[in-house]
């Protein structure tokens, strides 16, 4: 295993301000896009329970447990004698740096938070690289003196121990930049929508563990991807979703989204919001309870209550409606009204012929070109998005509406800037292709290095076609 740099932040007595300083350093480094892991002492070999905003990862041996904090860094609890084991556990998450709180007697390089009177003691510490002092005192030769200010210490750590990360996006053979990753977290679902394309997954072989999801996100971020959308199956069925979202932000993803059927949203909205989620897509094919049940098998009330809970928290909601002939195409106005009433955005989606019965597709597919024309005439204004093939957003009586026409729009693929990862960890360059998969998870489970895994990602990107064929 490759070990990241590890540093001990130490002091000689409690109350020296070590913990506050450490928290500040973590906040700054994670904001800068570095993956930070913190190792703390633990009196017992406890496996800490998952609180509402923490996620208990997994027992890792007898002497360390890990917690993915909702603010996106990883905490490992360890007994001091087990520091090498704790670093080993932390390294499985591939952090850029491991910060150890305490561990004065370890052989790690140390940043010592000291009073000026303790400088003499400090110089006796093995491997001290910097003193953090509240007062301005004469520097000690060979040791950097830093003010008790997390920004200054974080900058010192970056310059001394971290290497700048690649942020230039990958580009495919047709000049399309790969800016986003759409990651399926599970194929389990609590609904059974008649139209579901299952994100183009045939028969997935199991699901990724949390650490595997995090590793793929980190690789994607290192390869310059800026946006991530979590899908499924139903992503809210995964208990670790909050931690995954928080980690994504900590990695520096600028835009983190989730697409959900909303059945569990009322219960989980607060936790997801606390993890940083600010926008989601909500699948809603009808606002008539009977029609909704006949399409999805679920209860419309759960979705409405989930939507209301999300909106109360200020989460931006885009309602996704797959339009089907004879089922909901004549009630688009009602959905429009509903979306407006709930201060949401609306996205009308053309039915895609994927994992569907041929007869089903032909019977229910509606070309939305006419609907788009009609909206264009009725809209107060039209805004072109700078991406997604400059897709238009029509503002109709204050409601933003988008039309997604993957089927009847010949230019759809030219605006594609994202790549998919299936729930069983395969890179899938095109939603519509089942025969073009790159087994990232297989590589992870075979112990591949980051560089080799990134190589696989790059192969997937260079296999992208100009359009679906
Ligand atoms: N369970 C989640 C949900 O309902 O949003 C995520 C999975 S669902 C497969 C993701 C998105 O795919 C939803 O927005 C849904 O409307 C869309 N979708 C599913 N089947 C489709 C199809 N045949 N054609 C077009 N869009 C489809």
Residues 348-391 have pLDDT tens digits of 999 998 888 889 999 999 999 999 999 989 888 888 765 656 67
Name the 3-class secondary structure at 145: strand
429 secondary structure, DSSP code:
S
Atom of ligand 1 nearest to the CA of 259: 5
- For residue 366, what pLDDT is reported? 95
Q: By percentage, how much of the chain surpasses pLDDT 90?
A: 46
pLDDT at 274 over 60: yes
How many whole angstroms from 454 Cα to the centroid of ligand 1? 28
**What b-and-e string marks burial along 124-160, b requiring 16 or more CB atoms within 10 Å of the CB?**
ebeebbbbbbeeeeeebeebbebebebebbbbbbbee
- pLDDT of 212 above 80: yes
Q: Walk me through the domains of the chain, giving residue ranges and CATH numbers.
A: 6-161 (3.40.50.300), 170-462 (3.20.20.70)
Residue whose CB lies within 8 A of the most ligand 1 atoms, among 197, 268, 404, for a mutation test: 197
> Contact at 8 Å (CB) between 102 and 80?
yes
CA of 193 to the centre of ligand 1 (A): 9
Residues having CB closer than 6 A to ligand 1 are 189, 195-197, 199, 231-232, 234, 259-261, 281, 283, 320, 322, 349, 351-352, 354, 356
What CA dihedral angle connects 394, 396, 400 and 402, to 10 degrees?
Answer: -40
Average pLDDT of the chain, as a whole number? 85
Q: Note the pLDDT of residue 77.
A: 66
Q: What is the pLDDT of residue 141?
A: 78
Substitution site in 183, 191, 196 for ligand 1 pocket (most atoms within 8 Å of beta carbon):
196
pTM value surpassing 0.85 = no
Q: How confident is the model at residue 86 (pLDDT cuts 50, 70, 90)?
A: confident
Burial 293-314 (b: 16+ CB within 10 A, else e): eebbebebebbbbbbebbeeee
Give distance in angstroms: CA of 142 to centre of ligand 1.
60
CB within 8 Å of 359: residues ≥ 6 apart: none
Q: Which atom of ligand 1 is nearest to the CA of 352?
A: 24
Q: Which two tokens stand for residue 257?
A: 């989204």
The DSSP output letter for 329 is G
Q: Phi, psi (5° rounding) for residue 404?
A: -110, 115
Q: Please tell me the predicted confidence (pLDDT) of residue 121.
A: 83
CA of 457 to the centre of ligand 1 (A): 25
Distance (Å, whole) CA 225 – CA 257: 14
Q: How far is the CA of 254 from the centre of ligand 1 (A)?
A: 23
For residue 361, give the nearest of 330, 322, 335, 331 by alpha carbon: 322
Which residue lies with its CA nearest to atom 13 of ligand 1? 283
Task: Let me know how long the chain is.
Answer: 469
d(CA 252, CA 165): 11
How far is it, in rounded angstroms, from Cα 39 to Cα 439?
32
Helix, strand, coil percentages for the chain (3-state, nearest 5):
35, 25, 40
Q: What is the predicted pLDDT for the residue at 56?
A: 35
**Distance between Cα 257 and ligand 1 center (Å):** 14
What are 131's two structure tokens? 């003193």
Contact 402/391 with Cβ under 8 angstroms? yes
CA-to-CA distance for 247 and 202, rounded, in angstroms?
29
pLDDT of residue 62 exceeding 50, the answer is no
- Going from the Cα of 321 to the center of ligand 1, the distance in angstroms, rounded, reads 9
pLDDT, position 333? 95
Which ligand 1 atom is at minimum distance from the Cα of 353? Answer: 23
How far lies 408's CA from each of 269, 365, 383, 404, 416, in Å? 35, 10, 21, 10, 16
């Amino acid at each position: 295993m490759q070990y990241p740099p590890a540093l001990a932040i130490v002091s000689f007595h409690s109350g020296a301000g070590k913990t506050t300083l450490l928290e500040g350093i973590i906040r700054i480094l994670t904001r800068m896009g570095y993956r930070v892991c913190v190792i703390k002492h633990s009196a017992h070999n406890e496996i800490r329970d998952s609180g509402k905003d923490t996620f208990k990862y997994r027992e890792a041996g007898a002497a360390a447990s890990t917690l993915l904090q909702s603010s996106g860094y990883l905490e490992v609890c360890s007994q001091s004698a087990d520091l090498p084991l704790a670093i080993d556990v932390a390294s499985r998450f591939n952090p850029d740096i491991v910060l150890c709180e305490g561990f004065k007697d370890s052989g790690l390089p140390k940043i010592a938070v000291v009073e000026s009177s303790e400088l003499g003691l400090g110089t006796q510490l093995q491997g001290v690289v910097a003193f953090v002092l509240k007062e301005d005192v004469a520097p000690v030769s060979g040791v950097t003196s830093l003010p008790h200010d997390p920004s200054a210490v974080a900058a010192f750590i970056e310059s001394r121990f971290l290497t700048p990360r690649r942020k230039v996006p990958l580009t495919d053979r047709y000049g399309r930049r790969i800016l986003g990753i759409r990651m399926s977290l599970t194929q389990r679902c609590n609904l059974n929508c008649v139209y579901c394309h299952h994100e183009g997954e045939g028969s997935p072989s199991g699901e990724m563990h949390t650490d595997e999801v995090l590793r793929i996100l980190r690789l994607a971020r290192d390869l310059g991807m800026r946006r991530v959308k979590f899908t499924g199956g139903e992503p809210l069925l995964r208990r670790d979703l909050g931690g995954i979202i928080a980690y994504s932000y900590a990695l520096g993803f600028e835009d983190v989204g989730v697409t959900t059927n909303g059945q569990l949203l009322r219960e989980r909205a607060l936790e997801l919001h606390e993890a940083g989620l600010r926008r989601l897509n909500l699948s809603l094919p009808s606002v008539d309870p009977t029609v909704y049940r006949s399409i999805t098998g679920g209860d419309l009330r759960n979705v409405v209550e989930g939507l209301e809970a999300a909106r109360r928290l200020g989460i931006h909601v885009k309602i996704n409606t797959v339009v089907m002939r004879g089922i909901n195409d004549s009630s688009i106005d009602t959905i429009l009204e509903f979306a407006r009433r709930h201060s949401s955005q609306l996205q009308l989606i053309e039915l895609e012929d994927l994992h569907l019965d041929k007869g089903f597709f032909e019977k229910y597919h509606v070309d939305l070109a006419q609907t788009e024309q009609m909206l264009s005439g009725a809209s107060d204004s039209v805004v072109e998005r700078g991406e997604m093939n400059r897709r238009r957003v029509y503002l109709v009586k204050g409601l933003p509406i988008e039309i997604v026409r993957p089927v009847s729009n010949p230019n759809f693929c030219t605006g594609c800037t994202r790549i998919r990862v299936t729930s069983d960890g395969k890179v899938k360059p095109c939603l519509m292709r089942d025969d073009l998969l790159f087994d990232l998870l297989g590589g992870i489970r075979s112990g591949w290095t980051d560089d080799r895994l990134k190589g696989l990602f790059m192969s997937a990107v260079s296999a992208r076609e100009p359009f679906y064929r």
